[in-house]
Every structure is written in structure tokens, then in C-alpha cells.
């Protein structure tokens, strides 16, 4: 038996015994409703109630009844059931069919869902043109999720011409309609000056707006904002609470940075046990930075029993995910026989992986391998080329070694002035042998003049 609230402006509907008061309007009187008189909106209301009860089969049944009446929101809701396998056998193809019916009737959530299916090739052949078309259809009705997703298309240049300005404009439109993901993305645009003039105040405002809705990404960004822009321990302390809230929501990057704060005592008391706890939480989610950091703890025995073998295992897991610092660490272990058999070719393999990603440490060490013929044929030109790439990123030892190459004509044309410049820069960055060579080279050049 179905009962409907007697308040005509309410329309609340329930199956089974009605409550004493309507949960929507507070009315205390319900009247019986025949099943064949229930409209599409009524079936949606019943479906939502079933979802709250986690009775997915009944929810899908209610949405099916609404779909039979040709009600677009019911078609969309049933499509979601087929997409996710809630209450029905999962069928992305059937989900697309239902989304299309609803989308063609002009229902924006279905248009957005259909666009997402085209974007990701879910239940239909991937087609960014169709994805953008349907996102635009929904965005024209100011549907926030579509505005945000269309913004991402413009940010990445998928299906449309890349434009940070257009992306930021769409993110702003979605953010003003209280769409939380758009709020933290718009904050990021203001922080980094992408598509808008850089404005830290507005960046913080939008991060805060997202955080107020308990959005993990917004909380994380507020924490990082304080961590990056703070100058004192008191300012850094402001990062801990939002990072902790985001970490408790399972945000892997927040877990990593919370661990980092505890490891370094930044914004909190130094606490190795807490650092390990949060690094492990993030590592369980596959976060490569945390996995690599745990490797360092095992390498040095911080809070755990020292184990080169365990360190190497963790470095390898992170390295295979493409994390360049872990690739460098793993290469060093192979080069020095720590936790694995010494294997210079394997060391070169991992240094090269890191170097091609622009990691200055990997570039420098690959240069050393070429200079010494370790794991590769000696090649002074290759050595100098890798030293140069690392030096351009400010790597002190690379500047020193490249200076040596210029002084002695190794892989480059001999150039004492360039060698002197590089030695000077390396010395200023703390490379003491560079200071001695700089002084010797200055003396040599003076003797040439005399």
C-alpha cells in the first residue's frame, strides 16, 4: 500500500505505514495512493527512499516503473543502476541506452552521464566529440557537473581547443553553483595563475569554500597552502588540522604530507611513529611518494628495523610506477650492491628512467656512469650532455663535473672561462672542491696573461 502526504504542495510518497509527520513538510495526514496513479516523480521519491535503505533491487524496480512512464529522471536513475550494477545485472550498454533516452528529452544529469560514457568509452565507443557535445548540452542548462567536466576538457584540450581561460571560466560558473569539485579546482587556478590572474586570496577563498563542504581535496589544498606559504611554526600549524581531516577521509596525498609534517616536525612535534603511520596509510593506496619515503625509513632504520632488502623492495614498487626519486634510489642500490647484487647495467637502466623524466639527480648520475664507463661504454660527450641538463636545474655536483669537462676538454670544447663560471656556481652552492679548482684555474689564467 502506498501513502501520499495530503499537502498538495509537498507530494511526499511512501510505501507501507506512513510516519506520524511528513518528513518533508511536517504535515500529519496521509492518504492512500493507488499504484496506477503514481507518476514519474512519485517513483523517483520511492526509489530514493529505497537507496537510503540500501535496498537496491527495490530502488531499481521503482526507477523501472518510472521509466515505463517515460519519465526522464527515472530513465537516468535506472541507467545509473545498470552502470554500477546496483539492483540489476551490470550493463554499461543498457546504461547508455537509458541515458540517451533521458538526455534526448533534455534532462541535464543524463546528458552529463552520457557525455562521461563517451569520454571514457563506457558502454559505447570512446568519442570525445560526442562527449563534448553532451557536456555542452548540459552546460547550457547550467548543470554544475557538466560545467566542471567541460572545463576539464578545455584544460586538457580533449575534444576542444586547449584554453586555460575557458577552463577557468567554466570552473567559476560551476563553483558559483556550489559544485564542490569546481571550487577546489578554481582555487588551484587562482593559486597558480592558470586562466586567471594569480591571486592567493581568491585561491584560499575557493579552497575554503570546498573545505566547508568537507571536501577532502579542498581540505588538502588548504593544508598545502599553509604548508607552502607559511614562514613560522605557528603558521605551519594551521596546515595540520585540514590535512588530518583530508587524511581521515582517505586522501592519499594528504596522508603523505601529514606524515611529512610529523617526520620533519613542521607544524607539529616531530613524531616518527605518526609519520610511519600516515606514510603507510598512503602507501596502502599505492601512493609512490609514500612508498619511496617508507623505503628511506627502512634504509636508515628510522622507527623500523633497518633493512636494505625491504628498502629495495619499496623503491622498486614506487620506481615501477614511474616515480623518479625512487628510480634514482633503486639505481643507487644496484650500483652499490645494497639489498641486491651489484649490477651496474641495472643501475644505468633506472638512472636513465629517472633522467628522461627530467630528474636532475638521475641526469647527474647517468653522466657519471658515462664518464666512468660504469654499466655503459665510456662516452665523454654523453657524460657532458647529462651533466649540462642537471646543471641547468641547479644540481651543484653537475655544475662541478661539467666545469671539469670544460677545463679538460672532455666531451666539449675546452673553455676555461666556462669552466671557471661553473666552478664558481658550484662553490657558491657548497661544493668545496670546486672552490679549490676555481682558485687554481684563476691562477692559471693569470699566468697565461703574464
| pLDDT (mean) for 117-140 | 97
Query: 122 versus 27: which is more confidently predicted?
Result: 122
Whether residue 10 is predicted with pLDDT greater than 90 in this model: the reply is no
Per-residue pLDDT tens digits for 44-91: 999 999 999 999 999 999 999 999 999 999 999 999 999 999 999 999
pLDDT at 19: 85
| φ and ψ of 8, to 5 deg | -65, -25
Query: Do residues 66 and 44 make contact, with C-beta atoms less than 8 angstroms apart?
Result: yes
pLDDT band at 375 (very low <50, low <70, confident <90, very high): very high
Per-residue pLDDT tens digits for 161-193: 999 999 999 999 999 999 999 999 999 999 999
Query: Do residues 170 and 150 make contact, with C-beta atoms less than 8 angstroms apart?
Result: yes
Q: What is the CATH number of domain 38-117?
A: 1.25.40.10
Beta-ladder partners of 3? 14, 32
pLDDT band at 286 (very low <50, low <70, confident <90, very high): very high
Beta-ladder partners of 444? none
Whether residue 446 is predicted with pLDDT greater than 80 in this model: the reply is no
pTM for the model stands at 0.80
pLDDT band at 449 (very low <50, low <70, confident <90, very high): low
pLDDT at 448: 67
pLDDT band at 450 (very low <50, low <70, confident <90, very high): low
- CA pair distance 171, 263, nearest whole angstrom: 36
pLDDT band at 445 (very low <50, low <70, confident <90, very high): confident
Average pLDDT score over the chain:
95
- CA pair distance 356, 389, nearest whole angstrom: 10
| pLDDT (mean) for 119-136 | 97
pLDDT at 441: 87
Whether residue 12 is predicted with pLDDT greater than 90 in this model: the reply is no
- CA pair distance 127, 118, nearest whole angstrom: 5
Whether residue 306 is predicted with pLDDT greater than 90 in this model: the reply is yes
Query: Do residues 119 and 137 make contact, with C-beta atoms less than 8 angstroms apart?
Result: no
pLDDT band at 7 (very low <50, low <70, confident <90, very high): confident
Q: Do 38-117 and 358-450 come out as alike in CATH topology?
A: yes
Beta-ladder partners of 15? 2
Query: Domain segments of the chain: what residues?
Result: 1-32, 38-117, 358-450
Cell numbers at residue 405, please? 669537462
Contacts of 100 (CB under 8 A, 6+ apart): 110, 114
Sheet holding 2-5, edge to edge: 13-15, 2-5, 30-33
| pLDDT (mean) for 333-347 | 97
| pLDDT (mean) for 227-240 | 90
Give the residue from 273, 287, 341, 335 showing the smallest Cα distance to 309. Answer: 341
pLDDT at 128: 97
Query: Which CATH superfamily includes the segment(s) 358-450?
Result: Tetratricopeptide repeat domain (1.25.40.10)
Amino acid at each position: 500500500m502506498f501513502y501520499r502526504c495530503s499537502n498538495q504542495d509537498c507530494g511526499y510518497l511512501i510505501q507501507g505505514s506512513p510516519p506520524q509527520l511528513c518528513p518533508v513538510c511536517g504535515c500529519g495526514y496521509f492518504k492512500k495512493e493507488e499504484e496506477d496513479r503514481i507518476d514519474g516523480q512519485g517513483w523517483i521519491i520511492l526509489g530514493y527512499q529505497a537507496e537510503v535503505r540500501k535496498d537496491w533491487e527495490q530502488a531499481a524496480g521503482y526507477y523501472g516503473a518510472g521509466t515505463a512512464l517515460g519519465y526522464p529522471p527515472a530513465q537516468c536513475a535506472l541507467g545509473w543502476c545498470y552502470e554500477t550494477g546496483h539492483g540489476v545485472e551490470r550493463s554499461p550498454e543498457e546504461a547508455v541506452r537509458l541515458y540517451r533516452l533521458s538526455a534526448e528529452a533534455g534532462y541535464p544529469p543524463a546528458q552529463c552521464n552520457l557525455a562521461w560514457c563517451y569520454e571514457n568509452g563506457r558502454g559505447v565507443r570512446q568519442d570525445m566529440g560526442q562527449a563534448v557535445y553532451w557536456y555542452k548540452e548540459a552546460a547550457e542548462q547550467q548543470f554544475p557537473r557538466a560545467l566542471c567536466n567541460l572545463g576539464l576538457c578545455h584544460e586538457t584540450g580533449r575534444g576542444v581547443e586547449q584554453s586555460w581561460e575557458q577552463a577557468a571560466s567554466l570552473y567559476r560558473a560551476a563553483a558559483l553553483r556550489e559544485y564542490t569539485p569546481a571550487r577546489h579546482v578554481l582555487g588551484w587556478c587562482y593559486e597558480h595563475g592558470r586562466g586567471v590572474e594569480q591571486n592567493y586570496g581568491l585561491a584560499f577563498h575557493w579552497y575554503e569554500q570546498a573545505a566547508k563542504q568537507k571536501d577532502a581535496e579542498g581540505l588538502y589544498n588548504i593544508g598545502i597552502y599553509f604548508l607552502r606559504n607559511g614562514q613560522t611554526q605557528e603558521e605551519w600549524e594551521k596546515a595540520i588540522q585540514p590535512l588530518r581531516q583530508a587524511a581521515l577521509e582517505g586522501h592519499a596525498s594528504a596522508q603523505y604530507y601529514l606524515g611529512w609534517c610529523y617526520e620533519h616536525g613542521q607544524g607539529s612535534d616531530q613524531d616518527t611513529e605518526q609519520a610511519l603511520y600516515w606514510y603507510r596509510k598512503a602507501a596502502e593506496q599505492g601512493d609512490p611518494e609514500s612508498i619511496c619515503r617508507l623505503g628511506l625509513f627502512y634504509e636508515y632504520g628510522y622507527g623500523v628495523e633497518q633493512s636494505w632488502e625491504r628498502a629495495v623492495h619499496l623503491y622498486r614498487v614506487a620506481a615501477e610506477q614511474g616515480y623518479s626519486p625512487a628510480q634514482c634510489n633503486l639505481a643507487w642500490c644496484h650500483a652499490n650492491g645494497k639489498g641486491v647484487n651489484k649490477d651496474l647495467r641495472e643501475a644505468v637502466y633506472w638512472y636513465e628512467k629517472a633522467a628522461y623524466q627530467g630528474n636532475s639527480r638521475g641526469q647527474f648520475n647517468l653522466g657519471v656512469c658515462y664518464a666512468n664507463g660504469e654499466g655503459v661504454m665510456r662516452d665523454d660527450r654523453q657524460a657532458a650532455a647529462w651533466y649540462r641538463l642537471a646543471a641547468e636545474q641547479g644540481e651543484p655536483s653537475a655544475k662541478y663535473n661539467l666545469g671539469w669537462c670544460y677545463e679538460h676538454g672532455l666531451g666539449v670544447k675546452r673553455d676555461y672561462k666556462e669552466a671557471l663560471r661553473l666552478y664558481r656556481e658550484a662553490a657558491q652552492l657548497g661544493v668545496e672542491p670546486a672552490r679549490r679548482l676555481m682558485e687554481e684555474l684563476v691562477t692559471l689564467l693569470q699566468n697565461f696573461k703574464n
